[in-house]
Structure 1
Amino acid sequence: MSTMNDSRDLTPPAHSPDLADRRRVVFATVIGTTVEWYDFFIYAFAAGLVFGEIFFAGLGENRLLLSFATVGVSFLFRPLGAFLAGHLGDRYGRKVILMVTLILMGLATSLIGLLPTYATIGVAAPVLLVLLRIIQGVSAGGEWGGAVLMAVEHAPGRRRGLFGAGPQTGVPLGLLLASGVMALMAMIAPGDAFLEWGWRIPFLLSVVLILVGYYVRRKVEESPVFAELAERKQEAQMPILRLFRRHTVLVVVAALVFAGNNAVGYMTTGGYIQNYATSPEGPLGLDRGPVLWAVTGSAVTWLISTIIAGAVSDRLGRRTTYVLGWILQLVGVLALFPLVNTGDVGLLFAGLALLTLGLGFTYGPQAALYAELFPASIRFSGVSISYAIGAIAGGAFAPMIAAALVQATGSTTAVTLYLAGMTLVGLLATLVLRDRSGIPLGPDHEAEQQVSPIRGLSKV
């Protein structure tokens, strides 16, 4: 149980935000991360549904694996985005990074919607696609750390889990928006029309979403923790060097916590289930529209469980909430493919909904957990780089691994074992950590923050 009390809500009075400021920050982070993840997910959906046919058409029978590989390529560049954003964010603030990442992601997404196909420009088409996907990866690597720190560092100490769940809802909201728009376009432009032009509209809509996100984000104040660091001129000069000199083990453990969630989550956000259920060459051959609507519905259950988990973590502590989440996630993993393989869209939705219950409980508390693990002066670098490494170890190639396992074995049993194994990795990494719910986040408490959260270690 958490041992939080009023004395641990130690946001510096000079920079303490009022309730209206806090709500504005949460709203801005939710809007911004939703736009970012909408952009990221429509790529993954299109990779599973159309990119193999239109961008990799001349590259043989492995075109689907190549298409899913481009989903993973972006993850390899997330650490670059995390390193850049962490370094600049710890030196110049959280807000400026959020503006830059939003614009980069949106521009890359919009340009994908304008790309010529393989039939038009040959091998240049997949090359340009990969380059734009790399830009998306750099942007995603820098986005998350800034968004969650803005929310958590503005939050009252007793409600960090709930406030931190705000930007976390950007994933299910982005999934909801992306799958909903894709499903709508599948209705408006069915069959060949979807391959020819229907898939492009969701990418081009990103322009509008960027303008909305930019407008909202530019109105929020800088994080009070960074504001105090800047006022005292205590910004870290070499934050990444300090991070790896003192906190390497912590970065690895934190990354493994996220990897356990991310590998499982990318069964839907990475487009694998959509492709598996709808491919004419696969065992189910379901219609594209109903499957996309089922994914859209599961995004709602993910959204709700993410918010609930953030609030629960304020009562039970981050560690206990995570352990509960890993148990729920394992149940969802074991039930997923037996339900999907029935070929019934209603049962497919049930499988996804059950899975997202566990995903919400292993994702909702993550913002507060990560923020409480690292000292204030290098916190942006710590959370961003841990997140990026966890994304590579978890979700980067999860859809491609799943496709390869089914191709090699002819069944989904191996995929279930793979996802169950990643869930257990996340559970073990969580058990290694102490619960630091409610630890003061300001620069006055760096000595306390430096004490290792890893069991058995007193200093990092």
Structure 2
Amino acid sequence: MSTTYNEAATAAPLNSTARVATASIVGTAIEFYDFYIYATAAALVIGPVFFPQTSGTAQMLASFLTFGIAFIARPLGSALFGHFGDRIGRKSTLVASLLLMGVCTTLIGLLPGYDSIGAWAPILLCVLRFGQGLGLGGEWGGAALLATENAPKGKRAWFGMFPQLGPSIGFLAANGLFLILAISLNDEQFRSWGWRIPFILSAALVMVGLYARLKLHETPVFANAVAKEAPVKVPLVELFSQHWLPVLLGAASMAVCYALFYITTAFSLSYGVSTLGYSRETFLGLLCFAVLFMGLATPLAALASDRYGRKPVLIVGAVLAILSGFTMEPLLTHGSTWAVALFLALELFLMGVTFAPMGAMLPELFPTRVRYTGASAAYNLGGIVGASAAPFFATKLVAMGGLSYVGGYVSAAALLSLMAVLCLKETRDNDLNKVA
């Protein structure tokens, strides 16, 4: 054990609650802003701009496939950034993941379309989309650890809620900006250059996130861990040799969160505009309204999971999500805007209920020496199951059997998560200072 590790550990100052909250929320808000503007663009313009040589349906399917590329990259990002997060610390790794995500997002906004550079356009788009996924793969796990490893006793879910609020804020910012553009620009202007503005603005937002994170100190839990022993050489190897079951169960427990969010947002937006006949601005406005319910559910579920435990909250949320799948067809085909708004609000409220406890539960599943890698791996592997091809499969399922099939997809993902949660032990009282 080197004196460098010991000195760093004993000298590590504590972060204030305000600083932890700000860095956690700002970082994940920016990351999900970056990620969701692609989901919105995929539903609206990516197909015509980068795949114009195909039919309208093929354009939409190709667009959603590029959307899924990032979810394939996310587990690789969790392994890459998790390795350094468990070896050199949470702070530096979080800064690097934010930079990668921001650079790739900005470059997508500057990337010429198929009409300008031909086949290179979709190829480079896929490369940058892969980079987005790598960055987000390392983002959430670090933000969750930053929050929970600074939390006082009995308040880990409340502190773990900070990064969970980020998606709601990022979603509102992304959707709000697209809504303004939809109102301000005509279709030709939006498809020509307007859709690029949210991507380019990411560069300014990343600077804000970097400022917040560079002010942080290393978490006391990580500092204590390196004071006891040197970090593990290859966290990923130890994780899957000794802790593979919590990774798989944690990933399966996340499936419902992803399915609720991306079916409700990316798929529903595309379906609402192309099939239900809503204008872009109207449906984006409905989504902005609905995400407020996700923001409301997040702190309520975090408080409940600190009081009653992670499992009871997640079980209730998963059961309600199973039932909610059966409401998709009747509400979206009801013919009234209030029914559509009700469905969107219901699904995103349940997203908040099932997502909030994850900020504490996934880090609690793993010892400190592999916690960054483990929490990130579980979180991002869940994305492959619940979200990577969700909009793509939903488009196929509608063609096969209508919206009831898509609702069945949501219910199936929720059932998978319910079974996984039932197999997990309650983690509320786990000791985060446990090294191995």
Aligned residue number for residue 3 of structure 2: none
CA contact (8 A) 1:105 1:140 kept: yes
Aligned residue number for residue 325 of structure 1: 317
Cα distance in 1, alignment partners of residues 335 and 219 from structure 2: 48
Name the TM-score, length of structure 2 as normaliser. Answer: 0.95
User: Counterparts of 1:59-138 in structure 2 under 5 Å?
Assistant: 59-60=54-55, 61-138=57-134
Aligned residue number for residue 16 of structure 2: 21
CA contact (8 A) 1:25 1:221 kept: no
The answer on 1:357 being equivalent to 2:349 is yes
Q: Give secondary structure in 2 for the equivalent of 1:362.
A: helix
The answer on 1:316 being equivalent to 2:316 is no
Identity of aligned pairs, percent? 39
Q: Could you tell me how far 1:125 is from its partner in structure 2?
A: 1.1
Aligned residue number for residue 287 of structure 1: 279
Q: 1:74 to 1:392 in 2, by over 3 A?
A: same
Cα distance in 1, alignment partners of residues 18 and 81 from structure 2: 24
Cα distance in 2, alignment partners of residues 119 and 195 from structure 1: 13
Cα distance in 2, alignment partners of residues 161 and 123 from structure 1: 47
Aligned residue number for residue 395 of structure 1: 387
User: Counterparts of 1:32-431 in structure 2 under 5 Å?
Assistant: 32-60=27-55, 61-269=57-265, 271-279=266-274, 282=275, 284-409=276-401, 411-431=402-422
Larger proportion of helix: 2
User: Counterparts of 1:436-447 in structure 2 under 5 Å?
Assistant: 436-443=427-434, 446=436
Cα distance in 2, alignment partners of residues 124 and 285 from structure 1: 33
Cα distance in 2, alignment partners of residues 402 and 144 from structure 1: 26
Q: Give secondary structure in 2 for the equivalent of 1:140.
A: helix
Q: Could you tell me how far 1:431 is from its partner in structure 2?
A: 0.4
Q: Could you tell me how far 1:15 is from its partner in structure 2?
A: 7.6
Gaps of 5+ in 2: 1-8
Residue by residue over 1:199-225, the C-alpha shift from the partner in whole angstroms, topping out at 9 and shown as x without a partner, is 111111101101111111110111111
Count residues in correspondence: 427
Q: Could you tell me how far 1:185 is from its partner in structure 2?
A: 0.6
- RMSD, aligned α-carbons: 1.6
Q: Could you tell me how far 1:90 is from its partner in structure 2?
A: 0.6
Q: Could you tell me how far 1:359 is from its partner in structure 2?
A: 1.0
Q: Could you tell me how far 1:17 is from its partner in structure 2?
A: 6.6
Cα distance in 2, alignment partners of residues 337 and 197 from structure 1: 35
Matching residue's letter, 2:424: L
Residue by residue over 1:181-212, the C-alpha shift from the partner in whole angstroms, topping out at 9 and shown as x without a partner, is 11111011132211111111111110110111
Residue by residue over 1:38-70, the C-alpha shift from the partner in whole angstroms, topping out at 9 and shown as x without a partner, is 000000110011111111111334111010001
4+ residue runs of structure 1 moved beyond 4 angstroms?
13-18
Name the TM-score, length of structure 1 as normaliser. Answer: 0.90
Cα distance in 2, alignment partners of residues 392 and 126 from structure 1: 22
Aligned residue number for residue 9 of structure 1: none
Gaps of 5+ in 1: 1-12, 447-460
Q: Could you tell me how far 1:331 is from its partner in structure 2?
A: 3.4
Q: Give secondary structure in 1 for the equivalent of 2:378.
A: helix
Q: Could you tell me how far 1:171 is from its partner in structure 2?
A: 1.3
Residue by residue over 1:111-154, the C-alpha shift from the partner in whole angstroms, topping out at 9 and shown as x without a partner, is 11111111222221111111110000000111111000000010
Q: Give secondary structure in 1 for the equivalent of 2:186.
A: coil
CA contact (8 A) 1:70 1:133 kept: yes
Cα distance in 2, alignment partners of residues 108 and 166 from structure 1: 25
